[in-house]
């Protein structure tokens, strides 16, 4: 994924917001699709 273990740990902990670019990298690395949507609630 091209990211350090410490960066992944920070992302998993929720201590820092993840960028769209990082989320896209995670999706590619895990073979999943990134979907972001807005819903009325």
Q: Which long-range contacts (CB under 8 A, 24 or more apart) does 5-13 make?
A: none
Which two tokens mark 41?
A: 């609630």
Which two tokens mark 18?
A: 């993840």
Domain limits, the chain: 1-32
**What is the model's pLDDT at position 37?**
95
- How far, CA to CA in Å, does 32 sit from each of 24, 37, 41? 9, 16, 26
11-41 per-position pLDDT tens digit: 889 888 888 998 898 899 999 999 999 999 8
The whole-model pTM stands at 0.68
Give the C-alpha separation, 30 to 39, whole Å: 25
């Amino acid at each position: 994924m091209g990211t350090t273990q410490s960066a992944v740990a920070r992302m998993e902990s929720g201590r820092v917001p993840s960028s769209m670019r990082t989320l896209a990298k995670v999706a590619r690395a895990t073979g999943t699709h990134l979907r972001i949507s807005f819903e009325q609630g």
